[in-house]
Amino acid sequence: MTHAIRIHQYGGPEVLSWEAVSIGNPAAGQVKLRHTAVGLNFIDVYQRTGLYPLGDFPQTLGMEAAGIVEAVGEGVEGLSPGDRVAYAMVLGAYSSERLIDADKLIKLPDSINDETAAAMMLQGMTARYLLKNSYPVQRGDTVLLMAAAGGVGTILSQWARHLGATVIGCVGSKEKADLAHAQGCHHTILYAEEDVAARVRDITGGEGVAAVYDSVGQATLISSLDSLRPTGTFVSFGNASGPITDFNLGLLAQKGSLYVQRPTLGTYVRNRALLTESAEDLIDVVAQGIVKVHIGQRYALSDVAQAHKDLEARKTTGATVLLP
Ligand code: NDP
């Protein structure tokens, strides 16, 4: 029997409900997939609470997983039963089996195991577009990132360092600072205790950083802008502390003719060619060991409510994998 974690209303972790579902056979262009590992992401929290609204209820949450092809629908080429695949940014991953459009799937090489794939697709392709599109990192740049010990943060810091940047990572605790150092940060800042912009000025000889990759949102907006060099780039890509609303564009002039972007991964994988390019680049850096995906914790998929509680309470580090 297929099981899924569904919600029938927006709310706290208690709305996540483990239910038996029936999924039927793949339609034309679809694949039936048996999930072997599911990725947990902060976007799951935003979708659970309704910050990012979904369509009609019930909805199966989850945006990322790895698994094995069980059956293919008419017209599907290049995939056969038994193939190992992974995907990101397709709702419905919190399930033991699902139907999915074949063109969302990426075949996995033997060098990437299923848990790593489930942990890396969404967060890793995010790190990639941040570093290659949002603000393309140049060798010799200094960049600042928030939540450096988190899922996106641990990949972002390793990849930025590989591209030749000096990486400053903000973290919530001393233990997370140790992890962030081990994951590629040259410097760490405890943003709840220290003056972030002052520390950044110290580290950069008064100049400020070329770019800030900020996933925390509301709580870090001003310190992020104050950490930038003149004409630096503020990339605001998340809302872990709450969304930024009523942004005053004049701040960009006052603080040094700054640039700002509020991107989403969906834009950067919006068609098959972009998805393939992004996933192949990610698989390449992971297969080569340039980026090591740090899985900090694992939960049974049926215990996903606890995983959400821990993610929101800032208790997790690196990526989190849910096991169906
Ligand atoms: P993380 O593993 O980074 O977990 C979130 C971390 O944010 C926490 O561990 C915590 O680290 C920090 N944080 C700071 N303030 C708060 C707060 N008030 N409540 C909770 N956490 C807080 O999650 P992900 O790697 O899944 O995602 C990181 C961010 O990136 C999220 O905001 C997510 O939405 C965003 N994202 C955006 C994408 C996009 O394309 N726009 C795609 C993927 C992710 P600490 O204790 O060190 O402060």
How far does the centroid of ligand 1 lie from the alpha carbon of residue 25, in Å? 36
Residue nearest to atom 14 of ligand 1 (CA): 216
Q: Are residues 289 and 308 in the same domain?
A: yes
The token pair that represents 51 in the structure block: 């910050």
Express each pLDDT in 118-136 by its tens digit: 999 999 999 999 999 999 9
Q: Are residues 283 and 226 in the same domain?
A: no
How far does the centroid of ligand 1 lie from the alpha carbon of residue 76, in Å? 36
Q: Are residues 180 and 275 in the same domain?
A: no
239 lines ligand 1 (CB under 6 A): yes
How far does the centroid of ligand 1 lie from the alpha carbon of residue 240, in Å? 5
How far does the centroid of ligand 1 lie from the alpha carbon of residue 174, in Å? 17
* Domain around 204: 139-262
Q: Which of 262, 289, 311 is the last residue of a domain?
A: 262
Please state the atom number of ligand 1 nearest to the C-alpha of residue 43: 34
Q: What are the phi and psi torsion angles at 38 (to 5°)?
A: -125, 140
Asked if residue 257 belongs to a domain, the reply is yes
For the cut 90, the answer to whether the pLDDT of residue 157 exceeds it is yes
How far does the centroid of ligand 1 lie from the alpha carbon of residue 205, in Å? 29
Asked if residue 130 belongs to a domain, the reply is no
Q: What is the pLDDT of residue 129?
A: 99
Place of tokens 């008419």: 74
Please state the atom number of ligand 1 nearest to the C-alpha of residue 152: 25
Asked if residue 41 belongs to a domain, the reply is yes
Q: Are residues 100 and 188 in the same domain?
A: no
Express each pLDDT in 173-202 by its tens digit: 999 999 999 999 999 999 999 999 999 999
Could you give the percent of the chain with pLDDT greater than 70? 100
149 lines ligand 1 (CB under 6 A): yes
The answer to whether 268 touches 133, Cβ cutoff 8 Å, is yes
Gap between the Cα atoms of 309 and 45, Å rounded: 9
Q: Are residues 284 and 255 in the same domain?
A: no
Express each pLDDT in 197-242 by its tens digit: 999 999 999 999 999 999 999 999 999 999 999 999 999 999 999 9
Q: Are residues 104 and 157 in the same domain?
A: no
Q: Are residues 216 and 305 in the same domain?
A: no
Residue nearest to atom 39 of ligand 1 (CA): 264
Mean pLDDT of 240-261: 97
Please state the atom number of ligand 1 nearest to the C-alpha of residue 268: 40
How many independent structural domains does the chain possess?
Answer: 2
For the cut 90, the answer to whether the pLDDT of residue 85 exceeds it is yes
Cα atoms in the 13 Å half-sphere on the side-chain side of 229: 14
Asked if residue 128 belongs to a domain, the reply is no
Q: Are residues 212 and 190 in the same domain?
A: yes
pLDDT band, residue 1 (cuts 50/70/90) = confident
The answer to whether 319 touches 295, Cβ cutoff 8 Å, is yes
pLDDT band, residue 102 (cuts 50/70/90) = very high
Please state the atom number of ligand 1 nearest to the C-alpha of residue 40: 26
- Model's pTM, two decimal places? 0.98
Asked if residue 134 belongs to a domain, the reply is no
CATH number at residue 106: 3.90.180.10
Asked if residue 129 belongs to a domain, the reply is no
Q: Are residues 71 and 145 in the same domain?
A: no
Q: Are residues 46 and 68 in the same domain?
A: yes
240 lines ligand 1 (CB under 6 A): yes
Strands (E), 51-192: 59-60, 64-72, 84-88, 97-101, 106-107, 142-145, 166-171, 187-190
Q: Are residues 176 and 220 in the same domain?
A: yes
Asked if residue 133 belongs to a domain, the reply is no
Express each pLDDT in 17-45 by its tens digit: 999 999 999 999 999 999 999 999 999 99
Substitution site in 42, 43, 188 for ligand 1 pocket (most atoms within 8 Å of beta carbon): 42
How far does the centroid of ligand 1 lie from the alpha carbon of residue 65, in Å? 19
Residue nearest to atom 22 of ligand 1 (CA): 240
316 lines ligand 1 (CB under 6 A): yes
Gap between the Cα atoms of 285 and 278, Å rounded: 11
Q: Are residues 8 and 95 in the same domain?
A: yes
Please state the atom number of ligand 1 nearest to the C-alpha of residue 46: 34
Asked if residue 131 belongs to a domain, the reply is no
How far does the centroid of ligand 1 lie from the alpha carbon of residue 150, in Å? 7
Bridge partners of 33, per DSSP, are 69, 98
Q: Which of 219, 237, 262 is the last residue of a domain?
A: 262
Q: Which of 241, 262, 283 is the last residue of a domain?
A: 262
CATH number at residue 244: 3.40.50.720
